[in-house]
Amino acid sequence: MYLNVIEMGDGIFGLERAANIYFNKKAKDLTQNEAALIAACLPNPKRYKVKPPSRYMTNRAQKIMQQMRFLAPDEEIKKLVNRK
């Protein structure tokens, strides 16, 4: 629910809208890197820009992707990710 309403850029609310604005695609079609870049702008999306990403944002997104890889084998996470 949180990702559907949170601000993810100046006047951009929700993950679906952020995916459309930043990457011209639906949220379900984001790559891991694109999703990590959007997540990296939190908690201050007016200060941290998804596009173009600063070095800080790129590094932050890399750390988020590292966490994604760490959590990927977890059975509960697999259930959440593979929900249709």
CATH of the domain at 9: 1.10.3810.10
Q: How far is CA 53 from CA 20, 37, 61, 62, 78, in A?
A: 17, 8, 10, 12, 29
12-58 pLDDT, tens digit per residue, is 999 999 999 999 999 999 999 999 999 999 889 889 999 999 999 99
Asked whether residue 79 carries a pLDDT value surpassing 60, the answer given is yes
Domain count, the chain: 1
pLDDT reported for residue 84: 52
Q: Which domain covers residue 40, as residue numbers?
A: 2-81
Asked whether residue 71 carries a pLDDT value surpassing 60, the answer given is yes
pLDDT reported for residue 72: 87
